A and B are shown apart, each in its own frame.
Chain A
Amino acid sequence: QSALTQPPSASGSPGQSVTISCTGTSSDVGGYHYVSWYQQHPGNAPKVIIYEVSKRPLGVPDRFSGSKFGKTASLTVSGLQAEDEADYYCTSYAGGNNLVFGGGTKLTVL
């Protein structure tokens, strides 16, 4: 399976909204409702912030939201805060008990 396509970087000022895209194929993002997003701060393990396209685990602020249209999933961070500066990775189920990751997006809060 090929990696999902994410922009290498994104940025926004505090209080603004930023959207990160994650593009796959009909065999992964477009074919299943199992898209997740992970946040990773430098030196730390990843943390799930969105699962099943748009669900938030307990404790994740509602500033984080997810959506999907066709073969592209998106993560939107509203009301940007300094602590949101991190790397973000999308994943999708790809059939046959396989998971595929995106290449990651570095979010910078200006």
Chain B
Amino acid sequence: QDQLVQSGAELREPGASVKVSCKASRFYLTDYDITWVRQAPGQGLEWMGWLNGHNTYTHYVRKFQGRVTMTTDTTTGTAYLELRGLRSDDTATYYCAKGNIVDWYFDLWGRGTLVTVSS
């Protein structure tokens, strides 16, 4: 069945960067749009932005502009989320999810990648 396979947990020091990957399995990433959502421990879901599978358009939540880059590698069917200038409050599980942005919902989610920011 279709899956989004995310990379493993990461530990970073404050000020560092992290790049999380999300690989499409059994479908073409270019046929869909990808969103990134994060969840701090014990907290709710926070939307970070989205990009199209062709890597020609991105939209970032204002809060993350300047610190985040979302990309896709269309040859490998992999989406990436890079977050720079990490702070302790960036500690969270980061989820990728696919959908069609015209409908504004996401029907397949990765299992999440825990990013811990600590010195």
Instruction: Give A contacts to B, CB under 8 Å.
Output: 3, 32, 34, 36, 38, 40, 44-48, 51-52, 57, 87, 89, 91-93, 97-104
Bound-state Cα–Cα, A99 to B112, Å: 20
Q: Are B47 and A99 in contact (CB under 8 A)?
A: yes
Please report whether the interface of chain A is mostly helix, strand, loop or mixed according to DSSP.
strand
Q: CB of B106 within 8 A of chain A? A: yes
Which of A32, A87, A98, A101 contacts B46, CB < 8 Å?
A: A101
Instruction: Give B contacts to A, CB under 8 Å.
Output: 35, 37, 44-47, 50, 59, 61, 95, 97, 101, 103-107, 109-112
Which residues of the partner chain B approach A89 to less than 8 Å between Cβ atoms? 44-45
Q: Are B103 and A34 in contact (CB under 8 A)?
A: yes
Q: Are A103 and B44 in contact (CB under 8 A)?
A: yes
Q: Are A104 and B107 in contact (CB under 8 A)?
A: no
Q: Are B45 and A99 in contact (CB under 8 A)?
A: no
Q: Are A34 and B105 in contact (CB under 8 A)?
A: yes
